[in-house]
A and B are shown apart, each in its own frame.
Chain A
Amino acid sequence: SQTIHQWPATLVQPVGSPLSLECTVEGTSNPNLYWYRQAAGRGLQLLFYSVGIGQISSEVPQNLSASRPQDRQFILSSKKLLLSDSGFYLCAWSALASGRGEQFFGPGTRLTVL
């Protein structure tokens, strides 16, 4: 069966520090991978998605970047965090050719920038 892992679960970082959040998927090949951010009590904002290794699409201009060094690994990074980067970050995957289109989410990372 497929599983998706995210770490860390929680993170408190000072403004201006770097960030690296990691997401890995097991049990599937060639997944589409996604990073979302969710502000408190709000909906999900799509940040990045990837349809293959090294292929990253950005939805919104921001202080963050994403990389996909391996088929089932998706990394969210920042060189210098801003207060506005605080939020709940969710990684998700979907099957590229499943035809069903459902997404499977990781447990999320709660990021607080102070």
Chain B
Amino acid sequence: SQQGEEDPQALSIQEGENATMNCSYKTSINNLQWYRQNSGRGLVHLILIRSNEREKHSGRLRVTLDTSKKSSSLLITASRAADTASYFCATPSNTGNQFYFGTGTSLTVIP
């Protein structure tokens, strides 16, 4: 299976701290994406990093990709209570027609 795995499964931090989530995947990829899901809602795309990129930033988000280790990390800096959500990594199939999602990290930011 190409499905990714996030680590940790759950993370609880104080507001203002940084949150780091990791994702491992199994096969070669064209890109890796991170999504956010608020409880009971659909997923929202956060950021995409291509296989030839090592790091990417978007606002308070920083994503790294290590294709040699088949892993990625998502860092949220200066966390806010509104960042409380589940975060998933996803990788497309070789054809780009299918997407494989990891099991998710549940982040709780305590005000």
- A59's partner among B31, B40, B98, B103 (CB-CB below 8 A) is B98
**Cα separation A89 to B68 with both chains bound (whole Å):** 34
Number of contact residues on A: which range applies? 20 to 34
Which residues does chain A contribute within 8 Å of B44, judged by CB atoms? 105
**Cα separation A51 to B10 with both chains bound (whole Å):** 35
Interface residues of A in 30-71 (CB under 8 A from B): 32, 34, 36, 41-44, 46, 49, 51, 57, 59
Is residue B25 contacting chain A, with contact meaning CB distance below 8 A?
no
- Tell me the count of chain B residues lying within 8 A, CB to CB, of chain A: 25
Most buried by B among A32, A43, A102, A104: A43
What mask results when residues 92 to 112 of chain A are scored 1 for a CB within 8 Å of chain B, else 0? 101000001111111110100
Are A42 and B45 in touch, CB under 8 angstroms? Answer: no
Are A90 and B43 in touch, CB under 8 angstroms? Answer: yes
Are B41 and A107 in touch, CB under 8 angstroms? Answer: yes
Known: A44-B88, A101-B33, A101-B96. A108 touches B101 (CB 8 A): no
Interface of A is mostly: strand
Known: A43-B3, A49-B98. A103 touches B103 (CB 8 A): no
Is residue B52 contacting chain A, with contact meaning CB distance below 8 A?
no
- A44's partner among B33, B97, B101 (CB-CB below 8 A) is B101
Find the A residue at minimum CB distance from B102: A43
**Cα separation A45 to B88 with both chains bound (whole Å):** 12
What mask results when residues 39 to 61 of chain B are scored 1 for a CB within 8 Å of chain A, else 0? 01111110010000000000000
CB distance from B100 to the nearest CB of A (A): 7
Are A46 and B100 in touch, CB under 8 angstroms? Answer: yes
Q: A51-B97, A105-B42, A105-B44 are in contact. List 9 more A-B contacts (CB 8 A).
A: A42-B104, A43-B103, A44-B101, A46-B99, A46-B100, A90-B42, A92-B42, A101-B30, A101-B33
Binding site for A on B (CB under 8 A): 3, 30-31, 33, 35, 40-45, 48, 88, 90, 92, 96-104, 106
Binding site for B on A (CB under 8 A): 32, 34, 36, 41-44, 46, 49, 51, 57, 59, 88, 90, 92, 94, 100-108, 110
